[in-house]
Amino acid sequence: MVNLGTPESPSVTSVRHYLREFLWDPRVIDLPAVARWLLLNLFILPFRPTSSAKAYKSIWQENGSPLLLNSQALATALEAQLGQEHVVALGMRYGNPSIESAAELLSDAKCDKIIILPLFPQYSSAATGSAIEKSLEIIAKKCTIPNIVVKSDFYHLPGFIQSQATLIQNTVKNWQPDCYIFSYHGLPERQIANSKACNPSFCQDQTPCPEINLNNRYCYRAQCYETSRKFAQQLNLTTEQYKTTFQSRLGRLPWIRPYTDIALAELAQAGMKNIIITCPSFVCDCLETLEEMGIRGKEQWQSLGGENFELVPCVNDHPLWIKGLAEFISG
C-alpha cells in the first residue's frame, strides 16, 4: 500500500525536508527542472514550511502524524482481513516508512506476487502515477522480480462508496444539512489538460464532468464527479442537495474548479446555515481533512454566519471499507 507521506514531526525543519522531497517530484510540479528548482527554493521553501508546521501541530497526535497512524491501522486491518496468504506492507511516496522498506519486507517474505495499491481513489499523475512509477522503479532493482499487479483508481468501488456513505449517514442522523459538500484535492488545470484524458473546458467553465467513458476514463476531475454521483445515488440526494468542489490549491495558476472556499461563501450568501462536508479523495484522515477542512473550513463557515459545519471522517479502517478493499485486491 502506498500513501502520500508525512513529515517526521511538526517542526519547521522536518516539514521543510518533507516539502522539498514532495514538491521536487516532476509529477507534482510538472515544470522543467530549472523552473521547478527556482519555484521551490525561491518562493515555496523560504515561506511555506513555517505555516505548514503550524498546521501540522494543530492536528498532531501523541503517537505521531494522523496520516501515518490511520494508514498503519488500515494496513493492519487489511492484513487481518486477507488472511495468512497475504503480507501487507505500507510505504510512503515521500518520507517514512519508505516504499523501499515496504519492498524489502515483501522480498524477505518471499512473496510470489506483489500487488501495488496506491491509496488514492481517483487517478492523478501527481499522486497515483508517481506512486506506481516509484514502486516499479524500486522493485525493478531487485534480483528477483515476482509477478506484479497494479490496483489503482477505486473511485467507484462499492466498498469505498458504501463505507463513506455510512459515515455520512451516521453524521446526519439527528439533523438535516442544507447542502452536502464533496470536497476533493485540487490539481492545476494545466495537469488535466496535459493528461489529454478529457476536454479541459469543463475545468475552465466549472461545468460538471460527464459520466465516465472511454474519453475521460483517466481524467481526475471526471472521476471526482463520478464519485460524487455514486454517493448521491447511495444517499438518495438530488443534484440540488450536493456540490462537488476542490480544495488545497497552491500558487496563482488556475486549479480545477469550483473551489471549496469560494463555494462556502456562495452557500452562505444564499442563506444556507447547515452543511456537511466529506473529502473523498482521501481514504485516511490527514492534514487536508483535519486541519484544512476541520479547522480552517469550519472557521470560515462560522465567520460567514454559518451555524452547523460537520466534517465526515475518512473511511480509514472502517469494516465495510476493509472488506471491499480486500475483495478489490483479490479480484
- What would the DSSP string read from start to end of 236-264? T--TTSEEEEEE---SSS-BSSSBHHHHH
Confidence at residue 250, expressed as pLDDT on a 0 to 100 scale: 87
Domain segments of the chain: what residues?
2-154+321-330, 158-311
Extract the C-alpha cell encoding 4: 502520500
Domain 2-154+321-330 identical in fold to domain 158-311:
yes
CA dist., res. 26 & res. 32, Å (int): 8
CA dist., res. 104 & res. 47, Å (int): 36
Three-state DSSP class for residue 149 = strand
The third-level CATH classification (topology) of the domain covering 158-311 is Rossmann fold (3.40.50)
Strand partners, 277: 181, 311
179 has pLDDT over 90? yes
**How would you classify the pairing of strands 308-311 and 242-247?**
unpaired
Confidence at residue 23, expressed as pLDDT on a 0 to 100 scale: 97
Q: Mean pLDDT score of the chain, rounded to an integer?
A: 96
3 has pLDDT over 90? yes
| Cα separations in angstroms, 267 against 177, 238, 260, 304, 306 | 12, 17, 10, 9, 9
Extract the C-alpha cell encoding 175: 439533523
Contact partners, residue 30, CB within 8 Å, separation at least 6: 125, 126, 188, 190, 191, 194
Strand partners, 64: 61
Half-sphere exposure of 326 (CA within 13 A, CB side): 21
H or E element in which residue 11 lies: none
Query: How many helices, marked H, and strands, marked E, lie in the chain?
Result: 13, 8
Per residue in 84-142, pLDDT (tens digit) is 999 999 999 999 999 999 999 999 999 999 999 999 999 999 999 999 999 999 999 99
Sign of CA dihedral 224, 230, 234, 240: positive
Domain at 2-154+321-330: CATH architecture: 3-Layer(aba) Sandwich (3.40)
CA dist., res. 316 & res. 73, Å (int): 8
Angle between helices 99-108 and 130-139 (to 10 degrees): 40
Per residue in 43-91, pLDDT (tens digit) is 999 999 999 999 999 999 999 999 999 999 999 999 999 999 999 999 9
For the entire predicted model, the pTM comes to 0.96
Contact partners, residue 276, CB within 8 Å, separation at least 6: 168, 171, 172, 177, 179, 180, 181, 310, 311, 312
Per residue in 249-291, pLDDT (tens digit) is 988 889 999 999 999 999 999 999 999 999 999 999 999 999 9
pLDDT band at 203 (very low <50, low <70, confident <90, very high): confident
* C-alpha closest to that of 95 among 117, 125, 129, 71: 71
User: Are the C-beta atoms of residues 146 and 284 closer than 8 Å to each other?
Assistant: no
pLDDT band at 22 (very low <50, low <70, confident <90, very high): very high
Upstream peptide bond of 177 is cis (omega within 30 degrees of 0): no
CA dist., res. 169 & res. 165, Å (int): 6
